[in-house]
A and B are shown apart, each in its own frame.
With several copies, the nearest count.
Chain A
């Protein structure tokens, strides 16, 4: 063992805390530079400390490896903490992406990128992660298409999609009769070439 001072079960606990997937005894042994028998003993000790009801975390054996999980008793508190909608102010990229999805839905990532003139991967994933947009199938060309969610309507105080404000007052050429989608794509292409 290389981290000489620390008992092996402490190091194992730290490793399981950091790992996103279950870790096998062999992998633990290699990382700790210890034998598998030593790791087994450490796992036993740890399992005793982290058995249900003893602490907030429990040691579990799943899928051929070891992992830490939260005690089921904490579930409702976890839901209250984590299921709260996150609503920091939207960045320019997020607001643009969201407005495209809101007004054109369903709309695909490539279309969003063409209209904005830049790849919009990170704005799309943030909006998706925050539950403002969701996947709603695939386009003719096989690309995932997006639409807004009921959470979106709630956070924007909208009674429905038909309550979205008319963009006319912000429209530089409101007299243009063409369809909104076509106009946005055209403007995006022009921006891309300048």
Chain B
């Protein structure tokens, strides 16, 4: 499925994603009213249902949602102070956008032309049978000195080289949000509440951080809530 076909049922809008985009671009719908988080949730749920991930479609979705986010952040944030780092003025921004659109348009149109050529060209079929071997055998008389013998010695030298063992010290185990969500849900299934430090105090910082993210996500979805009576005090997580 294309990201544009994603069906949305939001507070401010209900219908396919591409219609939402069109309305936003035509400024018939204010982005300020649209909860972009809900779109992401709808898409993630759609992926869940679908089971397998279409990379092309997922990429398209990411690009679209990223541009919406960028647009919305500009809407919501105050205009930069005069002496802030120089952002592009509206004129330059329009020019830059225009240049990129024109470049893309050019190749999209050329693509249409190529697709047409291909449609015609693929109806011609070519012979692929090799000529009889007796006609093919290269004749010694026609052969000239074209290759440098040193290239052989060089290639051989390369094969005598053994690579140093790659340095893997920088590779760190990855922590996935999905897996942390799984761990949290499992904990809450077993008891209805737990203490964050008891459960995750011994994990490394990255794991702890991603677990907090997962908690935020669960809070948003209404799966869990937590309380902390004082700063740096114990965090009590409860299922809802």
Contacts and interface: CB of A to CB of B under 8 A. Distances in A.
Chain A–chain B contact at Cβ < 8 A? yes
Per DSSP, chain B at the interface is helix
Contacts of B121: 154-157
A69 B93 CA distance: 51
B164 to A, nearest CB: 8
B159 to A, nearest CB: 6
A116 B105 CA distance: 9
Interface stretch (B106-114, B170-178, B197-205): B106-114
Given A75-B135, A151-B140, A172-B161, A99 B130 contact: no
B117 A167 contact: no
Contact of B138 (A117, A151, A183, A192): A151
Contacts of B104: 115-117
Interface in B89-114: 90-91, 93-95, 97-98, 100-114
Nearest to B98: A181
Interface string A72-114: 1011001100111111011011011011101100000000000
A7 B123 CA distance: 18
B135 A79 contact: yes
Contact of B145 (A100, A157, A180): A157
Contacts of B118: 89-90, 95, 155-156
Given A18-B131, A75-B125, A79-B135, A165 B150 contact: yes
Nearest to B157: A170
A58 B158 contact: no
A190 interface: yes
A167 B220 CA distance: 50
B1 interface: no
Interface residues of B, number: 78
A187 B27 contact: yes
B113 A170 contact: yes
A172 B63 contact: no
B3 to A, nearest CB: 10
Interface stretch (B40-48, B54-62, B209-217): B54-62
Interface string B5-41: 0000000000000000000000100000000000000
A85 B93 CA distance: 48
A14 B100 CA distance: 47
A191 B24 CA distance: 12
Given A89-B118, A95-B151, A170-B154, A115 B125 contact: no
A44 interface: no
Nearest to B143: A154
Given A172-B102, A191-B75, 10 more contacts: A78-B131, A85-B138, A96-B107, A102-B110, A119-B59, A155-B122, A156-B148, A158-B149, A166-B153, A172-B105
Interface of B: 27, 55-56, 59-60, 63, 71, 74-75, 79, 90-91, 93-95, 97-98, 100-115, 117-131, 135-140, 142-163, 165-166
